[in-house]
Chain A
Amino acid sequence: MCGQFGSLTMADALERITNLVALLLETRAPLTLESIANELAGQYPPGEAALRGAFERDKAMLREIGVPIDSEVLGGSEAGRTAYRIDRRRYELADLHLADDERAALQVAVAAARLDEGRFGLLKLGAGGVAASTVVANVPELAALPVLREAAAARAEVTFGYHGAPRTLQPYALLLREGFWYVIGHDLGHQQIRTYRVDRIDDAPEMGPAAAFERPAGFDVRSVFPTDPKLLGDEVAARAVVWVHGQRAGVVVAELGDAAVRERNVDGSVVVEVPCANIDAFRSWLFGLGARARVVGPPEVAEAVVTWLRAMVGSR
């Protein structure tokens, strides 16, 4: 009967699902599929298999948009049958008591960060329309982020693959730094605090039960996160000694600090100590200075750089 308003099947499905939500919200006792089909007479296709198929699709769609559908297996005269209902307390959005200016500020924030899902969240919070923002930021949206945040908030463990190896982490926090999301927490396999790049996580993280751990009091993600990517690695900690041309000496000393300076030469050049626990990050830093920086020692680091250069020459 909705056909006059557009595509027949689509309007039918939407109307039926809306009716289904109303039914499952209102019912006192959980309903079996048979009673649901009875209540929504004529809206589900006839035949056991077709009915079951259509209902499963509806249920999957509702779960996908976040409608919590409870199911239970009945006893007594209907023993073994599954019955469904929606718990209103878990369905409904709690009132956040947002003031108008707070709602408006969130609208601007979502416009500035340009996160698609945020627009829909705003509608739920009663904020409509599109706000404008002169200032915008490109924030990576990754499929793993919502579940990682939810797990961190609920103190639930997460498991995921990283570089092909399974990891179990008690996530403490997520950090956005220089355009990358990181998850930081206690790694149960390594028995220590670890940091993982979220975009390098292989698959969808699985979230365990809530309240599985305590986050250490006063945990500060910035203090455990290596501020220097050259320190972010699994290799043995090492420092390299690097000569830097006078044209770049000022910039490099400003970056590394005076304590890193070993020698200051009359021509303006300097010799500095640089962390190179992560040789890839170190090499990247070094070559960012082009010909104006060279490794002086230790020999194994100089050798690694020279080997790299020879391979480049050889690739000609």
Chain B
Amino acid sequence: MSARRGPRPTIDRLRRLLVMLPWLMERGEVPVAEMAAHFQLTEAELVKELELVAMCGLPPFVDEMIDVFIDDGMVFTGVPRVFTKALRLTAPEGFALLAAARVAMQMPGADPQGALARALHKLAQALGDDALVVDGGAPVLAAAVAAAADDSARVRVSYRSASSDEASEREITPRRVFADRGHWYVIADDHRSGEERTFRLDRIESCERTGIVDESRAVAAPSGDDWFADADLPVARLRVPATGRWLVERFPTRSVDADGDGWLVEVSVTDERWLAELLLRLGPAASVLAPPEWVDLGPRTAAELLVAYEADGNVDS
């Protein structure tokens, strides 16, 4: 959760322990390696946890301990007692599972009658009604692009960029598809520029496989605000008032620092017109601090627009 505190070893280990015990008791015996992988621990970490478990007693605590031992790469447990079932789901766990399932149901290629839909139904029944609605499916071509990413297949796309209204043809190898703040993107190897680029999926107008399959390459999924940071674009440094909160929330920013009741924000600028329009929306309380050639851009843009309004004659000049 967003209010997450730092690592708290005891509580995290306790949570895991109360899941590990019933899991192990249900199986009776399991290879150390398999159990470690299941709980995302190294084998050494798992052995340490199991050694602790073996020190814990069972009521009435006369001499009975939780019966766990390791021999020849296998974990064994005796007759299941006390910790036979996992602890119920907490509210945050239940929410996260339902929300993940709902979000994934909107992803390209999701099958409304498939395994995920069935799992979601069972979860919602157990948790009383999911009460969650996730809006906005992926653009039509998202499934084709995601499938190409799975196969490392090179595709030919027609792409309409934000700055020019004309579509361009290019070959790309999709690597990752992701959604952020209501928009879908694909990170791809762009064979026209020879670089990795991020494209808006709703601006891809066609997508055809070329028959070429490239080597697979892992690309980390970007998160939160960092995903624009690697683009090779000029950066503007802005002072944004409290009313400009939407900028911080909705736009990919390179950095955000609190500044009084507002923020100091760095944004990547795709073109000057985009920045000018952004400044109009932010209004008089926002300002550009750098670079120097844009410090005056907001007032200049407003002055030009005012001239047009006065020429319309609808306002007193």
Contacts and interface: CB of A to CB of B under 8 A. Distances in A.
A267 interface: no
B168 to A, nearest CB: 18
Contacts of A41: 61
Contact of B94 (A116, A150, A294): A150
A163 interface: no
Interface string B73-116: 00000000011011111111111111111111001100000111
A173 B132 contact: yes
- Top 6 nearest A-B pairs (CB, nearest first) are A178-B182, A128-B38, A179-B181, A121-B93, A118-B96, A109-B104
Given A146-B91, A294-B309, A288 B281 contact: yes
SS class of chain A's interface: helix, strand, loop or mixed?
A: helix
A123 B113 CA distance: 24
A6 interface: yes
Interface of B: 1-4, 9-11, 13-19, 23, 37-40, 48, 51-53, 55-61, 82-83, 85-104, 107-108, 114-116, 118-119, 122-123, 126-136, 142, 146, 149-150, 165, 176-182, 221, 223-224, 243, 246, 249-250, 273, 276-277, 279-281, 283-285, 287, 296, 298-299, 301-306, 308-309, 312, 314-315
B96 A13 contact: no
Given A61-B14, A294-B305, A309-B306, 11 more contacts: A22-B59, A26-B58, A105-B114, A110-B97, A118-B96, A142-B1, A143-B1, A153-B130, A180-B181, A287-B277, A290-B276
Contact of A138 (B176, B180, B249): B180
A218 to B, nearest CB: 14
A220 to B, nearest CB: 9
A142 to B, nearest CB: 6
Nearest to B116: A105
A260 interface: no
B177 A135 contact: yes
Nearest to B177: A135
A134 B149 contact: yes
A175 interface: yes
Interface in A86-103: 90-94, 96-99, 101-103
B68 to A, nearest CB: 12
